[in-house]
Amino acid sequence: MRIVLLGAPGSGKGTQSQRLVERVGIPQISTGDLLRAAVAKGTELGRQAKEAMDSGRLVEDSLVLGMIRERLGEPDARRGFILDGFPRNLAQAHALDRLLATLKQPLDAVVQLEVDSRELVRRISGRRSCADCGRVFNLLTSPPSGANAVCPKTGVPHRLVQRPDDNEATVTERLRVYDEKTHPLIDFYRARGLLQVIDAEGDVDDVTARLAQALHAPALRSPRRRPARKSAARAKGSRRKAAKKTRAARKPSRRAAAKVARPRRPAGAAARHGKAPRATRSARRRKGARR
Known catalytic membership, residue 236: no
Q: How is the beta sheet containing 2-7 ordered, strand by strand? A: 28-30, 81-84, 2-7, 109-114, 195-199
Which member of 127, 128, 135, 210 is catalytic? 127
Cβ atoms 35, 140 nearer than 8 A: no
Phi (first) and psi of residue 156, to 5 degrees: -125, 170
Number of helical H runs and strand E runs in the chain: 13, 8
Does the domain spanning 2-126+162-220 belong to CATH 3.40.50.300?
yes
Known catalytic membership, residue 174: yes
Known catalytic membership, residue 210: no
Specify the higher pLDDT residue, 106 or 172.
106
Known catalytic membership, residue 127: yes
* Average pLDDT of the residues in 159-175: 79
Distance between CA 17 and CA 83 in Å, rounded?
9
What end-to-end distance do the CA atoms of the chain give, in Å?
100
**DSSP secondary structure code for residue 179 in this structure:** I
Which member of 36, 69, 174, 181 is catalytic? 174
DSSP SS3 for 197? strand
Which member of 13, 71, 123, 135 is catalytic? 13
Cβ atoms 204, 228 nearer than 8 A: no
pTM, to two decimals: 0.61
Peptide bond into 87 cis (omega under 30): yes
Residue 109 is which amino acid? A
On the question of pLDDT at 169 being above 80, the answer is no
Cβ atoms 11, 211 nearer than 8 A: no
Within the chain, all domains assigned CATH 3.40.50.300 are found at: 2-126+162-220
pLDDT single digits (tens) 56-109: 666 788 888 888 998 998 999 988 999 987 898 899 999 999 999 999 999 999
Q: Distance of CA 149 to CAs 135, 165, 177, 255, 258, Å?
A: 11, 24, 33, 86, 90
The whole-number pLDDT of residue 173 equals: 79
The mean predicted confidence, pLDDT, of the chain is: 78
Known catalytic membership, residue 13: yes
* Average pLDDT of the residues in 221-232: 39
pLDDT single digits (tens) 265-289: 555 544 444 444 455 555 556 655 5
Which member of 88, 122, 181, 190 is catalytic? 88
